[in-house]
Amino acid sequence: MPSDSDPFREHTFGSPIDLPSALEGLSIQYLDVNEIRALVIYQTAILNLEVLEGELSAASRVELEVYEGPREDYSTDTEKSSGSVINSLLDQLTSVATQSLSDRN
């Protein structure tokens, strides 16, 4: 089980998710590097998002790695760890994916 200090984490979504649409819907800035990789700016942290199954537009499994943690002047003590940033981003993406799936039904 990943801890709050882990700088990376793999995650599998219940169904494929369109990551660019989800990030844009959450007003999270990102730069797509290619069809399976993007750099994401979240809570002033910089994360590498790599799709392990699928591609950015239909990702089933991803790996997130924190390249640079949140700035100290922005973060509270509970938000400073790499794992917390990753968990927070994954929670938001999972919520969007779940909402999108329920909208289709």
pLDDT in tens, 38-70: 999 998 899 999 999 999 999 999 999 999 888
Q: 1 lies in a domain?
A: no
What one-letter code names the amino acid at 75? Answer: S
pLDDT score for 103: 67
Q: 3 lies in a domain?
A: no
Q: 12 lies in a domain?
A: yes
- pLDDT tier at 78, thresholds 50, 70, 90: very low
pLDDT score for 64: 96
Q: 2 lies in a domain?
A: no
Asked if residues 2 and 41 have their Cβ atoms less than 8 Å apart, the reply is no
pTM of the model: 0.82
pLDDT score for 99: 75
pLDDT over 60 (residue 3): no
Q: 59 lies in a domain?
A: yes
pLDDT score for 61: 97
Q: How far is residue 77 from each of residues 1, 83, 84, measured CA to CA in Å?
A: 22, 13, 10
pLDDT score for 46: 95
Q: 56 lies in a domain?
A: yes
pLDDT score for 1: 42
Q: 74 lies in a domain?
A: yes
Q: Which two tokens stand for residue 27?
A: 């007003």
Q: Show the domain range for 76.
A: 8-104
Number of domain units in the chain: 1
Q: How many CB atoms lie within 10 A of CB 100?
A: 15
Q: 32 lies in a domain?
A: yes
